[in-house]
Amino acid sequence: MIKVEQLSHSFYIGKKGKQKEIPILKDINLSIKSGEIISIVGKSGSGKSTLLNLMSGYLKPVKGRLVIADTDVTEYSEAEWADFRLNHLGFIFQSFQLIPSMTAAQNVELPLVMKGIPEKVRKQKVEEIFERVSLQGYEEHYPSELSGGQQQRVSIARALIVNPPLILADEPTGSLDSETEEELLSFIKKLNKEEGITFVIVTHDDEVASIADRTIRLDDGRISKGAVAV
């Protein structure tokens, strides 16, 4: 599903011509098989979220190669990445990233609108997805009217609406209480087992990492020795 080869990334600070390079990731090599749940762990500043942002095309690597779903996306333009994300990737965020002025159904429907799916088909798909995430009856509620766990389920529904083979999650339980976290993790395991969806989860939570098939530990921008990465 994902192959990372010699991937490196840096940020730059200072004025043009006098910029200082701050290395974040250094020669990352990693293979993730279809149907795996992978957790990426490490201290703050270790490069976890940067690696996830490279995998999603929101950052461009300084060096290296990235292949997702048999497609070399290393040199993709922003437009190419936008199209690729819309058809191949789903996202779950700690802060949910729901649009407050839109209902839960409208938030979930948005990727289908962007794909130009006819309204009748969209409505049917939204109805089906709300049943899958056990949110029937909440379609017309706004995010502010939902609990944290319900908002995260809306976020998951939005991620699932285009049937992506891969879901990237950045601290997906960070805003949830322990009971809601347990429910979410059970749901992720169910999606993985029953539908074969691949999950890559950045987390600092041992409970979240425990559901993974493999855990990749980053330390100062490198995969730690002893971490099974490939």
pTM of the model: 0.88
| pLDDT 10s digits, 127-155 | 999 998 889 999 999 999 999 889 988 99
- Say which residue the tokens 């043009």 belong to: 16
Share of the chain above pLDDT 90, in %: 73
Domains and CATH numbers, the chain: 2-99+147-223 (3.40.50.300)
Residue 54 region by backbone torsions, left for phi larger than 0, else alpha for psi between -120 and 50, else beta? alpha
User: What gap in Å lies between CA 35 and CA 57, rounded to an integer?
Assistant: 21
> For the chain, what is the radius of gyration of the CA atoms?
18
Which tokens hold the place of 70? 């048999």
- Say which residue the tokens 């840096």 belong to: 10
Banded pLDDT at 230 (limits 50, 70, 90):
very low
Task: Give the number of other CB atoms < 10 A from CB of residue 29.
Answer: 14
| pLDDT 10s digits, 10-62 | 988 888 778 888 999 999 999 999 999 999 999 988 999 999 999 999 999 99
